[in-house]
Amino acid sequence: MRWSYTIARIAGTEIKVHVTFLLIVGWWAFIGYSQGGPTAALTSALALFALFGCILLHEFGHILMARRYGVRTPDVILLPIGGVARLERIPDVPRQELLIALAGPAVTLGIILILLAVLRLAGSQAEVTQLSEQQPFLAQLVSVNLYLLLFNLIPAFPMDGGRVLRALLASRLGLLRGTRIAATLGQSLAVLGGLYGITRPEPLLVLVAFFVFLGANAEAATVETRLAGQGLQVSQMMVTDFRTVPVHATLNQAVELLLSGEQREFPVLDNYGRTEGILTRDNLIRGLSQMGPNSTVAEAMTTGVPTVQPTLGFQEALDRLRASRLPALPVVDVAGVLVGLLTLDNITDLLLVRRARG
């Protein structure tokens, strides 16, 4: 997702914050300020940091449960609607997805129970079902976590309730139909919520509805792509008619290659035919403007490019291509010979053809 920034890295998972989440922090502090001056603004901001911690704990409930089933979580992103842990893949067994989806709310429930116990031990009679600034700080935190828990159980992507629903549907109807039904329900709820938010007017609700709509869409698309490519391997997905560029070629020579055809990314080969890196159009343009046309491809190319084997499966290859943030990856066989080029454009074309053929 764009407009998000990595702020930390915990146990192999990047913690990212979306700019809209920061807007909420500012908005909350502003409300505190307008009601009680700088002290209230500070208290509001602190409360939000505590909430931030609770959301992270919730997400790590998902992450640790996913890890139990061998699913890694490359990143978790904090949105105004809470956190979204981006799992590397959906587990094949619906029961596993169900448990992963429930682990987050279970952590939130645990936080609520612990905070309640602390409050009661301290002799507080605070009312936690109503969020109010008159309540002690811990009671407010309980209220917010209660909202978080209930909100997450709404049966719509990307909330946990949506995943629970999908897992339940998928165990009977299969992953594709289960996802479609859950996504449609999520989008309908988002539209209704959005319309309600506009008429109230309640800008936060509109923002939340917007993210829910996008989340449902993305989830459905992910699953459809995955199923469309099922059974494919890289050798069937790769471009085999392509040109390469020698590592000692000048950027001028590379420009000729770029302009003479449709190809945008060129594998760079050394004198022995080994893949040294990849020269993307961006590499070429930047190299031209910074180092001039007579500098070599070696100086401008991207190095340390991961390669893929022709026998690699569809989803893994797609994940590796996306993770590389490169437009293309070289396909190299067991003997180390470059045999193809894996590009997103070509994969898209292939999936369109496969769908058209049914």
Contact range with Zn ion by CB under 5 A, out of 6-14, 153-161, 183-191, 287-295:
153-161
DSSP alpha helices (H): ranges in 200-276?
Answer: 203-228, 234-237, 251-260
Query: In this structure, are residues 212 and 158 in contact, taking their beta carbons and an 8 Å threshold?
Result: yes
- Cα distance between residue 42 and residue 146, in whole Å: 23
Minimum CB distance to Zn ion, residue 107 (Å): 9
Closer residue to Zn ion (CB): 160 or 276: 160
Backbone angles phi, psi at 292, to 5 degrees: 90, 165
Q: Which is nearer to Zn ion, 94 or 104 (CB)?
A: 104
Size of the site for Zn ion (CB under 5 A): 2
Interface with Zn ion, residue 178, by CB under 5 A:
no
In angstroms, what is the minimal distance from the CB of 170 to Zn ion?
Answer: 18
Least distance to Zn ion, CB of residue 163, Å:
8
Contact between 215 and Zn ion (CB under 5 A)? no
Stretch near Zn ion under the rule CB under 5 A, chosen from 88-96, 103-111, 169-177, 312-320: 103-111
CB 100 within 8 A of CB 87: yes
Q: 302 burial class (0-12, 13-18, 19+ CB within 10 angstroms)?
A: middle
Q: Is 160 near Zn ion (CB under 5 A)?
A: yes
Smallest distance from Zn ion to CB 253, Å? 52
CA 269 centroid distance within chain: 34
Per DSSP, the residues of 289-324 read: HHH-TTSBHHHHSB-S---B-TT-BHHHHHHHHHHH
Part in contact with Zn ion (CB under 5 A); list of ranges 88-96, 152-160, 167-175, 181-189: 152-160
User: By C-beta, is 160 or 219 nearer to Zn ion?
Assistant: 160
Query: Residues 6 or more apart from 172 whose CB is under 8 A from it?
Result: 178
104 is a contact residue toward Zn ion (CB under 5 A): yes
Taking CB under 5 A as the binding criterion, the range among 97-105, 124-132, 139-147, 340-348 that sits at the site for Zn ion is 97-105
Structure token digits, residue 211: 């993210």
Q: Which residues bind Zn ion (CB under 5 A)?
A: 104, 160
